[in-house]
Chain A
Amino acid sequence: MRSPHPPTSDPLAAHVLAGADATEPHPAGVANGREGPPWAELLDGSDEMIFMVDRAGFVRVANAAAVQTLGLAIGQTVTMLPMATVLQGPPGSFELDLDERRLRGRGAPIGEWTSWYVRDVTDQVMRVDALLAERWRSAFLAEAGRRLGSCLNRVRAARTTAVLAVPALADCAVAVLDDERNLAWFRVDVGPEERTESAGSLLRRTLRPDSALDQAMAGLSVLDDPRLGDDIGALLAPGFGTVGSAMVVPLPGHTSPAGALILARHAGRAPFETVEVHLVRQFAARAGAAISAATLYSAQADAAEAVQRSVEPPELPAVPGVVLGAAYRPAWERLRVGGDFYDVRQAPDGSGNWLFVLGDVCGKGIEAAVQSGTARQSLRALWLTEPRPLRLLELLNQAMLTGAEPTMATLVIGTMTAGPTAEVAVTLVTGGHAPPMLMHADGQVTEVDLGGTAIGLIADAPFGEARLTLRPGETLVLYTDGVTEARGRSADNPLFGPDRLAAEIQAYRGAPAAVIAERVAQRVTDWVGERLQDDIAVLVIQAAGPSDAAGSAKDSRR
């Protein structure tokens, strides 16, 4: 503790002190020398900087910490001090940075003097800052993982990568997707006024070997290399200006990088620190994983979609003299296809003869769908050379028996030919399938019982055949067992059954084929309540009356 007396060489201070001595209370025991408790020693022992400033702005008391840390001297005017602004203001709390130190203090008036208590909180603040920064990095990575993790689209994952990186990591980010020929890129740039997103692509062969991007595609990171500006300049937003700090990192994929991420900061922003480089790598790892997963998913989904397209129920063709309608509802599946199928094909010889088929391959889901697609294709091929339905069925049976996968199916095959008198001659054959229903002009509904066994079971299976003539006002309904065997949701889960089906068809007497088909499918769906347990396919055939002969051409599946 320095003496509260001013240096005698300063007359002004001496004057002020003299005046102050007369009016201000002195800390007890200090002003008058040796008596009382040793206050000076007590204050010198504190780590806190403690000092007093008088009304005129002169330091009057200062403990050892204040002298050492702040460089105070008794009698000094505070206007000379680096922290003058604080000390000249009204007493209160403050926090300021001084020579890389963070000081936190408060002033309290004691009479006309002000006593100041100041602490060096540099370490404490640094710890908190580091903690906050760490917490921010964790939150950023968590957010990135969340957004990227729910994205199974490659392009969108790349775009999300660039979007997340700006402004958190850089002022401009370009995510580049690796590919054999074309490198698609997505860029987000935050300028002084607005944030812009853009996309484009560049040819892989135009990449200069050993350029930063080329290196990143090979798995190497490049940080603040002098040549970096030349390498990435063309990909940065136009008008980006001088690059302050930049890095190019690979987006790690499953076996090779899925792409690269370019990050650039303006000249005014702090360069990438070590801890930030670390963060960028962790971010790139998440982005790369998301892009790779999406790429893998796309490949699988492409395959599934190709299969699905090949087995989707076809659009019904326009058959002269005939009104057709169909409905198809697969059991609830990821893919909207199942083992039920139908098809209508014209005879190759231009005879005006048409083939129709409706069937059900045992099983559900994608396997059944593929099998039904095979059966449909076989039938189409056989139809090119064989016009007799019964023979077609026998050939299909043999084809299925010799196939690699044992398949059992029930189906109805028929041919139809519209005659000159608005009547349609129909031949039906079946193997073990639910009997088609025929609604007569008076609304009466009867089953067309054909017998026969399922195909794909035995070589010389017996099949049933029937011929009938469909007149205007009559309706032939083919359906799969998903219709009649649908279980209702009421207490005892009753079967939908053929009687309800017949009643439903009857209720729609006079309606066009498409409406009847859709209605049957809807009624069964309502019957089941929630999810269909089995596929449903319905094919409805009517003889076009003279009035709607023209309309039939425009009829379609929906």
Chain B
Amino acid sequence: MTAAVSPADRERYLDLVGDGAQTPAIDFALGLAERGVPPRDVVLDLVAPTQARIGELWARNEWSVAQEHAATHVSEQVVAALAARHRPPAGRGVLVVACVDGEWHALPARMFAEVARWDGWDVRFLGASVPGPHLISYLHRHGPDVVAVSCSVPTRLVAAYRVIEAAQAAGIPVLAGGRGFGPAARWGLRLGADRVAAGAGEAVEVLRSWPLPTVTGFDPLRESFVSDDEHVLIAKRNTQLVAAAMDDLAQRFPALGGYTAHQREATEYDLGQIVEFLCAGLFVDDPELFTTFLDWLRVVLGTRGVPPSSVDLVLDAYQQQLYDFPRARAHLAAGRRRKAG
């Protein structure tokens, strides 16, 4: 008697987490499980899609950032409650789940960890932002069968790459997952992960059909996939780039003069984010990373009364500054074109 999560259930759940109604949300999720919905489906078909909705609602400025975080907090408690209530079988092997260094979005990894646990894995969930050396030391000590690294934001891909490399050097095969690894998690493959998965459900399926190697063939001398070090050099110049762009904006966008200190800081933060995503895109050598981010940023700014054309002003400022970075200029140009087309 397997029941399924209905669209009405998702609407109800969204309302509950939107109100920050923790206890009712937990009761609702546990109630679904009691009615015969497998806990894994409660996580994958109720909590996960709701989290995606919440992100959209925030981007469109329909929810405040505080509401978004309160809702996420409720979802975390829901997953914890489901995990406490439904004890898993065991026997598939030891799986370490960790968010890469600087990745503080723990919920996607947590959801995967619980679903994998219900699938029979002995899961060690190391939580958000696991420093690389800590993770590697853990892997050496406990010698798990596989390590899953979660990355929700592409700006952490450099950290993800270091961890993938080091885990393989320790002889542990790596599964890379999360939205940060891009469409179908393809940047995970580029970074050398043994397997990739876009979401928690897919990741569990991948693990099921993977004859795990006991010793990975890792070559520490393998050639880097990055043809140049533009992403490193530009990341180092982040602060100067932002300062130059702020000056540029002040001249061409007079409204900036009337900004409060808080608004200026928020603008500086956005400008810094643009540089970080540019670097991430250069690192995996895929302009789509940057253009996807800009699409999202234009929506976020647009719904908050910031003209999307201001993004182009920033891109122009960066173009000027980065005159001797051919790949960066190509990515910036792609970002500019995207808006026109």
User: Interface on A for B, CB 8 Å cutoff?
Assistant: 146-147, 150-153, 155-156, 159-160, 163, 197, 294, 297-298, 301-302, 305, 329, 332-336, 489-491, 503, 507-512, 514-515, 518-519, 522, 525-526, 529, 548, 550-551, 554-556, 558
Mark B229-243 against chain A: 1 for CB-CB distance below 8 A, else 0.
000000000111011
Asked if B20 contacts A512 (CB within 8 A), the reply is yes
Is the pair B220, A163 in contact by a Cβ cutoff of 8 Å? no
Select one of B73, B130, B141, B214 contacting A163, CB under 8 A: B214
Contacting residue for B66 out of A150, A511, A526, A555, CB 8 A: A511
| Contact between A298 and B131, CB atoms less than 8 A apart | no
The answer on a CB contact under 8 Å between B243 and A491 is: yes
Number of inter-chain CB pairs below 8 Å: 114
Residue of B26, B70, B133, B242 touching A512 (CB-CB under 8 A): B70
Cα–Cα, bound, A156→B262 (Å): 53
B69 pairs with A518, CB closer than 8 A:
yes
Cα-based distance from A302 to B141 in the complex (angstroms) = 8
Closest to A153 in B: B143
Least Cβ–Cβ distance between B20 and chain A, in angstroms: 7
B170 interfacial contact with A, CB 8 Å: yes
Interface positions, chain B 56-115, Cβ under 8 Å from A, are 65-66, 69-70, 73, 76-77, 80-81, 104, 106
Q: Give the residues in chain A near B131, CB-CB below 8 Å.
A: 332-334, 336
Assuming the contacts A554-B22, A556-B80, asked whether A514 and B73 have C-beta atoms less than 8 A apart, the reply is yes
- Find out whether the CB atom of A515 lies under 8 angstroms from the CB atom of B69: yes
B170–A150 touching, CB < 8 Å: yes
User: A151 and B170: CB pair below 8 A?
Assistant: yes
**Residue among A155, A508, A551 with the highest chain B CB neighbour number at 10 A:** A551
Q: Is B154 an interface residue (CB 8 A)?
A: no
Q: A150-B171, A554-B81 are in contact. Are A518 and B23 (CB under 8 A)?
A: no
Tell whether, in the assembled complex, residue B141 and residue A153 are in contact, meaning their CB atoms are under 8 Å apart.
Answer: yes
Residue among A297, A490, A522, A526 having the largest count of chain B Cβ atoms under 10 Å = A490
Which B residues have a C-beta under 8 Å from some C-beta of A?
20, 22-23, 26, 65-66, 69-70, 73, 76-77, 80-81, 104, 106, 127, 129-131, 133-134, 137, 139-143, 169-171, 214-215, 218-220, 238-240, 242-243, 262, 268-269, 272
A153-B143, A518-B69, A558-B80 are contacts. A512–B22 as well, Cβ < 8 Å? yes
Please give me the 5 A-B residue pairs with the lowest Cβ-Cβ distance, nearest first: A152-B140, A153-B143, A551-B23, A150-B169, A551-B22
Inter-chain contacts of B238 with A (CB < 8 A): 489, 529
Known: A163-B214, A515-B66. 9 other contacts (CB 8 A): A159-B215, A334-B137, A491-B239, A491-B240, A510-B20, A510-B66, A518-B73, A529-B238, A551-B22
Report the separation of the CA atoms of residues A156 and B139 in the bound assembly, to the nearest whole angstrom.
Answer: 11
Distance, CA A335 to CA B106, complexed state (A)? 19
Contact across chains for A525 and B218 when beta carbons are under 8 A apart: no
Pick the contact of A297: B23, B26, B140, B242 (CB < 8 A): B140
Alpha-carbon distance A294/B139, docked complex (angstroms): 12
Inter-subunit contact A336/B170 (CB<8 Å): no
- A155 in contact with B73 (CB, 8 Å): no
Alpha-carbon distance A135/B264, docked complex (angstroms)? 64
A301, A508, A554: which contacts B23 (Cβ < 8 A)?
A: A554
The closest CB in chain A to the CB of B79 belongs to A558
Are the C-beta atoms of A147 and B134 separated by less than 8 Å? no
Q: How far is the CA of A170 from the CA of B223 in the complex (A)?
A: 32
A425 to B207, CA, bound (A): 52
Mind listing 13 A-B residue pairs with CB under 8 Å? A146-B219, A150-B170, A152-B170, A156-B170, A197-B214, A301-B140, A336-B134, A491-B240, A503-B262, A511-B66, A548-B22, A556-B77, A558-B106
The answer to whether A163 and B70 have CB atoms under 8 Å apart is no
* B269 partner residues in chain A, CB cutoff 8 A: 526
A489 contacts which chain B residues (CB < 8 A)? 238-239, 272
Other-chain residue from A146, A298, A335, A511 in contact with B20 (beta carbon distance below 8 A): A511
* Closest A residue, CB atoms, query B72: A515
Please give, as numbers and ranges, the residues of chain B lying within 8 Å of A332 by CB-CB distance.
131
Question: Max chain A CB contacts within 10 Å: which of B106, B171, B243?
Answer: B171
A155 vs B171: C-alpha distance when bound (angstroms)? 12
Chain A positions within 8 Å of B73 at CB level? 511-512, 514-515, 518
Closest B residue, CB atoms, query A302: B141
With contacts A147-B171, A159-B215, A515-B66 taken as known, whether A490 is within 8 angstroms of B133 at the C-beta atoms is no
CA distance A555 to B218 in the complex (A): 43
Q: List B contacts of A298 (CB < 8 A).
A: 141
Kindly provide the distance from the CB of A224 to the nearest chain B CB, expressed in whole angstroms: 29
Kindly list chain A residues whose C-beta atoms are within 8 Å of the C-beta of B23.
548, 550-551, 554
Given contacts A334-B134, A503-B262, A512-B73, contact A156 B171 (CB under 8 A): yes
Q: Are A301 and B137 in contact (CB under 8 A)?
A: yes
The chain A residue with its CB closest to the CB of B128 is: A558
Q: Which chain A residues border B141 with CB–CB below 8 Å? A: 152-153, 298, 301-302, 305
**B80 cross-chain contacts in A, Cβ below 8 A:** 554, 556, 558
CB neighbours (8 Å) of A297 from chain B are 140
Question: For residue A199, which residue of chain B has the nearest CB?
Answer: B214
What chain A residues lie within 8 Å of B133 (beta carbons)?
A: 334
Task: State the Cβ distance, A225 to closest chain B Cβ, in Å.
Answer: 31
Residue of A with least CB distance to B101: A332
Provide the bound-state CA to CA distance between A160 and B143, in Å.
12
Complex-state Cα separation, A272 to B198, whole angstroms = 50
CA A336 to CA B131, docked complex, whole Å: 8
Per the bound structure, the CA–CA distance linking A302 and B22 in Å amounts to 38
- Chain B min CB distance to A518 (Å): 7
Contacts of B262 in A (CB 8 A): 503
CA distance A297 to B69 in the complex (A): 41
In the complex, what residue of chain B is closest to A554 when comparing beta carbons? B77
CB pair B243–A490 under 8 Å, yes or no, is yes
Across the two chains, which residue of chain B brings its CB closest to A152?
B140
A150-B170, A556-B80 known; A522-B104 Cβ under 8 A: yes
CB of B206 to closest CB in A, whole Å: 22
CB-nearest residue of chain A relative to B74?
A: A512
In the complex, what's the smallest C-beta–C-beta distance from B174 to chain A, in angstroms? 14
Q: Contact: B22 with A490, CB < 8 Å?
A: no
Q: For the complex formed, measure the closest distance between the CB of B71 and the CB atoms of chain A, giving whole angstroms.
A: 9
Report the minimum CB–CB distance from A157 to chain B (whole Å).
9
Q: Give the CA-CA distance A508 to B70 in the complex, in Å.
A: 9
Say whether A156 contacts B22, CB under 8 Å. Answer: no
Q: Which residue of B lies closest to A530 (CB)?
A: B102
User: Taking CB as reference atom, which chain B residue is nearest A155?
Assistant: B143
- Rounded to whole angstroms, the CA-CA distance of A298 and B219 in the bound complex is 24
Task: Tell whether, in the assembled complex, residue A335 and residue B170 are in contact, meaning their CB atoms are under 8 Å apart.
Answer: no
Alpha-carbon distance between A334 and B143 when the two chains are bound, in angstroms? 18
Instruction: Given A548-B22, A550-B23, A558-B80, check contact A153 B140 (CB 8 Å).
Output: yes
Q: How far is the CB of A188 from chain B (nearest CB, A)?
A: 9
Instruction: Please give me the residue from chain B that is nearest to A329 by CB atom.
Output: B129
Q: A334-B134, A489-B272, A548-B22 are in contact. Are A150 and B143 (CB under 8 A)?
A: no
Which single residue of chain B is at the shortest CB-CB distance from A163? B215
Most buried by B among A151, A155, A163: A151
CA distance A556 to B26 in the complex (A): 14
Nearest-CB distance from B24 to chain A (Å)? 9
